[in-house]
Structure 1
């Protein structure tokens, strides 16, 4: 595909829980904290996820010089509770932004929701030449009693935050240019988050606190951990190879390969091996002070790449992500010559 323009931002609450504080209060054991490798986690005490998304989105629209009324769609991805029941968080976000003509859509793609949102945005631009830009937001907040940010799942601890990515045709200011995106699927792995459970009639019907560890133990007892590791290896390898080929790049053309914001041990087991088999780039881990951001890891990594100094003009990076269900996405992006420049061969 021709290059697509991206403007990306992230919003975090000011409150932080350090690893030392979490260990001291018994939220996590010291050994587990070491395996996770985080330094601290952002905690949203009084801002709900959709309001976090609005806070992330406003400066992104300003930098992209896009009035909210010009947006064609607002796609919002999340993992956990958004603040109300039987209610549409995407419509709320569009309302708060005054995106009155945008079609609001919610995405339940687990931890890969933000990446899938960007791909859907590209499909909209490709399929409708009259379409305006698309805004993709993510936001999650992980509070007890329904979710324990340190204990609910293996291989990660969750931080609170929101992301916003403006996807446009490359004819507006851009933090990054997106050259390729590839997603692979392993739908049989949905059982990792279901285990032996039946499908209950009510929210939290299997217990007052979400316990992904329990369902993963059931998966491992039935199938063994090697089934996930092998499937992830194959699907990640395919996604990376496809994205590189679509971008017209070789394994040596990348400056960085950016990892999801999972625990360091989990990434070393499942994500790093297939990645280093496919690319020669330095691995970049941007999540040690944020934790895993629910649906927003890839989008937060785009924001950090776009606003940081890792990439020089023309440098390319591959950004990798995965999410329960499972899907795996690899995107190839580059730094434009300047934030105000438009893409040569911009998407039309």
Structure 2
């Protein structure tokens, strides 16, 4: 999405639970074999002692405080997640808004699987641009991948799942109605989808009457194996590379930059997937397209469900890694499949 003018990102927050399980402990407990743990490359994964929406409230409170924004100034609250939020038929977005005191906000849930956080940023940006008087948009994500319903170490290929939450405030910059200074500046967002790949998370499974009716634990390996047996690996790798390339080029073009390796990017930030997955599916495309240093976050978080992109924005901000005019391209991906890129700079 080409923005007619940049928007501000303030208070990006990564909230992680105190509990964690090291890779060494997971191997010792036979939750994952040593070879797979090495390919994942995570030192450990955070383990929640709160429900996912409760973690989102903590992240949201931190983001609002860091941004200096009161809950009453939030006109839109978007909450994204990929896994069970604690109740069967319920809106976690409304829970987050209520607990934060954002009584005037319109809460919306965003379910675009692991790309949900980036999708929420894009949706919030569109709403802010067409409704300048909206105020501030608060975007939260949260997931808890707890046993027995989810196998965080071995339930998927090339990904380990960590518990945690993120939040950020999206708003207008000075010069616009209600504008304010920001921590980061959002210049462009681009999203590309490949719906033909939806079967990777459906496989040959029949439609069930309720969650986990086919088994007590989410089994992503089963569905991916069925897809690959039917379609072949190239059906995924070729489509993925083309979509990722298109998302990068569109995002840079939206800010008037060119993906020739000469774009003034300080960093390109990969999703928080396993080391081997990044090496095979992301690093070759991103390095060739941009020539920028590739950051591989997530060694101490694992994949945060819908929160990868916001977590990386939080770390860019906390580490003061971008000066004014220095750009970073944050990459997000999710089942379906969908790829998004966010182009930000230091404020």
The answer as to whether partners of 1:6 and 1:178 remain within 8 angstroms in 2 is yes
8 Å contact from structure 1 (residues 64, 173) kept in 2: no
Matched, 1:37 2:21: no
Asked if structure 2 preserves the Cα contact closer than 8 Å seen for 1:48 and 1:83, the reply is yes
Q: Give the conservation status (yes or no) of the 8 Å contact 2:17–2:46.
A: yes
Q: Deviations over 1:3-36 (max 9, x none)?
A: 1100211100011111111111111100001100
Cα distance in 2, alignment partners of residues 226 and 309 from structure 1: 39
CA distance in 2, matches of 1:162, 1:191: 28
Of 211, 231, 235, which aligns to 1:203? 211
Question: What's 2:134 paired with?
Answer: 131
CA separation of 1:271 and 1:184: change in aligned 2, threshold 3 A: same
CA offset digits 1:121-154 (Å, max 9, x no partner)? 0010011122111111000000111101001111
* 1:340 matched residue in structure 2: none
State the alpha-carbon separation in 1 of the partners of residues 319 and 182 from structure 2.
14
SS at match of 1:271: helix
Q: 2:300 aligns with which of 289, 293, 306?
A: 289
Q: Distance in 2 between matches of 1:101 and 1:312?
A: 35
Once the two structures are superposed, the pairs formed by residues 297-312 of structure 1 within 5 Å of their partners are: 297-312=308-323
The alignment status of 1:52 with 2:60, answered yes or no, reads: no
Any gaps of 5 or more consecutive residues in structure 1? 337-348
SS of the residue aligned with 2:132?
A: coil
- CA–CA separation in structure 1 for the residues paired with 2:181 and 2:19: 32
SS at match of 1:110: coil
2:176 paired residue number: none
Aligned to 1:323: 334
Deviation, 1:194, is 0.2
Deviation at 1:160, TM superposition (A): 0.4
Counterpart CA distance in 2 for 1:159 and 1:129 is 36
Q: 1:106-255, aligned counterparts within 5 Å?
A: 106-170=109-173, 171-250=179-258, 251-252=261-262, 253-255=264-266
- Match of residue 84 from structure 1: 87
Q: Secondary structure at the match of 1:126?
A: helix
1:77 deviation in Å? 0.4
Deviations 1:190-236 (A, max 9, x none): 10000011111111111110000000000000001111111110000
Match of 2:25 among 12, 21, 26: 21
Q: Distance in 2 between matches of 1:309 and 1:285?
A: 17
What is the distance in 1 between the residues matched to 2:213 and 2:288? 42
The Cα offsets for residues 34-80 of structure 1, whole Å up to 9 and x where unpaired, read as 10011111111x21111101111112112222211121111100011
Q: Is there any run of 5+ residues in structure 2 with no aligned partner, and where?
A: 174-178
- Aligned structure 1 segments of 4 or more residues deviating by more than 6 angstroms: none
Q: Secondary structure at the match of 1:156?
A: coil
Aligned residues between the structures: 335
So what's the TM-score if we normalise by structure 2? 0.95
Contact 2:287 2:293 in 1 (8 A): no
**Which stretch of the first structure deviates more once superposed, 178-187 or 244-253?**
244-253
Q: SS at 1:310's partner residue?
A: coil
* TM-score normalised by the chain length of structure 1: 0.94
Q: How do 1:62-101 and structure 2 match up within 5 A?
A: 62-101=65-104
- Kindly state the Cα deviation for residue 330 of structure 1 after the two structures are TM-superposed: 0.8
2: CA distance between counterparts of 1:72 and 1:180? 22
